[in-house]
Amino acid sequence: MDDTTITPALSGICAGFESGEWRARQLARRLFKGIIDFALSHSERKDFDSDTGMEMIGRAVRKIYTSEKYTSRGEFGELLLHVTLREVFRTQVAVSKIYFKDASNDTVKGFDAVHIVENGDALELWLGEVKFYSDLARAIRDVRQELHDHLATDYLRHEFMAIEGKIDREWKHAPTLQRMLHEDVSLDEIFDNITIPVLLTYDSKAVADRVTQLKGNPQLSPNTTIEEYRANFEAEVRKGWDKFVAAGLPPRVKIRLILVPLHLKSVLIRALHERLMSWQEATA
């Protein structure tokens, strides 16, 4: 679902169902199709071909992490945010944050995505935040604090300097974005061209009830009850929007809320981890 008539605008995304199950493995597979764009620089992606492909894929998947302690890591949330922005909102990657990791198991601070959208001759900067959680209330609480911290003047100036230094000079939008983020440009002017997409996941009652319904009625055609699920899904997502707004949002900046209700985060993250490990082994 998508509603741009409210502020902040709201999107709700579901991976769908197959054979009575929420499509965790299918979602994991789809996310990994975006791994090159997520983990490599613009210059590296330009050099991707049949001769270099396997080596670059290996480099990309090892940049995420190589640890078995994966349940509380944030990279998969960043990958979900990245793919959502690229596929739903047609953004372009300005800076691949994962590319600048010093070591594969390090974490990278700052905004969770740095993308742009072409807006005529100008650029709109999308600075993403994600909370890949199982509990929506906790996700809202934590992202609210980060929004206020990350949109403070001193933090933004520091972040813009970091982004400027990481923009690939071969990217066609590099000069425009560097001029936009220059310290001589007023933050008031920059704010007019910034969107903050906030993606939150959580274990969803609407999704869980749908799985129970499909499993409990194996002869039931999913198409006969899909409208009921869609209504429950939308009602739950709108209730999440209400809670997000009630938490108190920073002024001035344009926020877009993206809610991704899950069946079980633990199942999805396990599917993502298994796919990551298999790709690392295949490209070793």
Tokens for 208, please give them.
Answer: 């869980």
Question: Is 49 in contact with 56 (CB distance < 8 Å)?
Answer: no
pLDDT tens per residue, range 19-76: 889 999 999 999 998 888 898 888 888 877 777 778 888 888 887 777 666 666 788 9
Give me the pLDDT at residue 60, please: 83
pTM: 0.92
Question: What pLDDT does 178 receive?
Answer: 93
Low-confidence ranges of the chain (pLDDT < 50): none
- Residue 259's contacts (CB-CB under 8 Å, 6 or more residues apart) are 10, 11, 12, 13, 136, 199, 200, 201, 202, 237, 240, 241
Q: Report pLDDT for 100.
A: 65
- According to the model, what pLDDT value does residue 105 have? 53
pLDDT of amino acid 7: 95
Tokens of 137: 């209330």
Q: Report which secondary-structure segment, H or E, holds 7.
A: none
- What gap in Å lies between CA 6 and CA 270, rounded to an integer? 35
Selection from 275, 281, 267, 241 nearest residue 1 by Cα: 241
Paired strand residues for 197: 256
Q: How far is CA 221 from the centre of its chain?
A: 32
Q: What is the pLDDT of residue 112?
A: 93
Report phi then psi at 6, rounded to 5: -110, 160
Separation of alpha carbons 123 and 132, rounded Å: 28
Helix (H) or strand (E) holding 61: helix 53-64
93: β partners: 115
Please state, in angstroms and rounded to a whole number, the distance separating the CA atoms of residues 178 and 163: 9
DSSP labels, 149-208: HHTSHHHHHHHHHHHHHHS-TTSTTHHHHHHHH-TTS-HHHHHTTEEEEEEEEEE-HHHH
pLDDT of 102: 53
Q: Which pLDDT score, from 0 to 100, does residue 67 have?
A: 67
Cα 55 from Cα 63, distance rounded (Å): 12
